[in-house]
Amino acid sequence: GRQSKNIRIKNCRLDNGRRQGISITSADSVFIKDCTISNVSGTNPQYGIDIEPNKNCSVHYVLIENVNVVNCEGGIRATVPNAGVGNASIGTVVIRNCQVSAQSRYPIHLNRCVTGTVKGCTIDATNDRPSLYANYVNNLKVSNNTLNVDVKLFSSIKNKLKDWVGKGSYSVIRVVHGSDKGVRDNKINKR
């Protein structure tokens, strides 16, 4: 919450959350490392990690490293609600060396961040949504990730998209209102 600084969440097992596993609403320098977050379901938004600043609040820097998000409705989300209502803002979000899946929402969703980095992650697509969706991210870097797509979903997606990375709803990595130049060296596996 308000004026939180240098927060460290490490070696936690968070299971069976109704709304979120971890919520970050106003903070500077949050480090989440070596955690497992599972079975988040019940009340929206239902994400393992939800970075969502309150009105007139900001989240300046978040590092999520070596975190497993499994069997949650959504994986990891950083979003400024209602297009920055009340001057809410998100600075830098770094997601590194994580395993992320989602049951019905996006595995990784970045919305209105100044900088978003997703590197060295394994992301399982478990629904008809993109594995990673970035919207209005000024500086986006998505590299060296492995995207596992179910064979049935793979066939369904392949018939609907022109490129694996693009603006289309069925792109495995969807980038809208921003540049996809920082998206490179990602591997897509059928499983």
The pLDDT value given to residue 1: 65
Cα–Cα distance for residue pair 179/145, rounded to 1 Å: 18
Q: What is the mean pLDDT of each run of 10 residues along the chain (191 residues)?
A: 88 94 95 97 94 91 98 95 76 98 93 96 81 93 90 58 57 83 88 72
Q: Could you tell me the CA-to-CA distances from 14 to 40, 44, 48, 61, 167 in Å, in that order?
A: 9, 17, 9, 22, 34
The pLDDT value given to residue 151: 65
Cα–Cα distance for residue pair 88/61, rounded to 1 Å: 14
Cα–Cα distance for residue pair 143/96, rounded to 1 Å: 10
Q: What is the pTM of this model?
A: 0.91
The pLDDT value given to residue 163: 55
